[in-house]
Amino acid sequence: MNIQTTQMKMQKKQIKEHSDWSIYCRIILKLIMFLLAVFAVANSYIYLNQQIQNIERDNTKITRKIENIDREIKSLQNSYENASSRSMIDRQIARFNLKLREADHSQIKKISLNDGNLSGSSLADVGETLQNPEHSNYRRDVADAEPHVTRH
């Protein structure tokens, strides 16, 4: 019997077994890494989805709040229109005997601002215009009108 041959065969067998094991390990490791990657992606997807749902929920809440506020604004506007109507004011004047009357012509003066010459002007130009009435129609209009006076 050749002991060296048997020993060599056993060594060869051991080496072969050892190399088979490392191959298996490598395969399994690759598989695990692949599964980990898939798990990570799935987890991220779920997390981001949850975040989206939370934001959508908040968005819905805020949208509803805005709609509620819009409704309240509309309701207040309508109440204002009702309260400021001429007939309502006349009723209040009569109710509280306020003795108010419409102004006579002599009690009202109006000035009108002609802004036709102001387009494109700078503030400096306007300032100069105000000081030099001959140079501008704007100042002339203002100068011709009497100041707004309400005399009682």
Residues that bind another protein (CB under 8 A): 53, 56-57, 60, 67, 71-72, 74-75, 77-79, 81-82, 85-87, 90, 102-105, 108, 110
- Is the CB of 32 or the CB of 83 nearer to another protein? 83
Angle between the 123-131 and 137-144 helix axes, to the nearest 10 degrees? 50
- Compute, in degrees rounded to 10, the torsion defined by CA atoms 119, 125, 129, 130: 100
Q: How far is the CB of 54 from another protein (least distance, A)?
A: 10
- Is the CB of 99 or the CB of 110 nearer to another protein? 110
Residue 48's SS3 state is helix
Q: How far is the CB of 146 from another protein (least distance, A)?
A: 12
- Is the CB of 7 or the CB of 85 nearer to another protein? 85
**CB neighbour burial string for 112-140, b if at least 16 within 10 angstroms, e if fewer:** eeeeebeeeeeeeeeeebeeeeeebebbe
Q: How far is the CB of 77 from another protein (least distance, A)?
A: 7
Q: How far is the CB of 73 from another protein (least distance, A)?
A: 9
In sequence order, the 6+-apart residues with CB closer than 8 A to the CB of 143 are: 133
- Is the CB of 38 or the CB of 108 nearer to another protein? 108
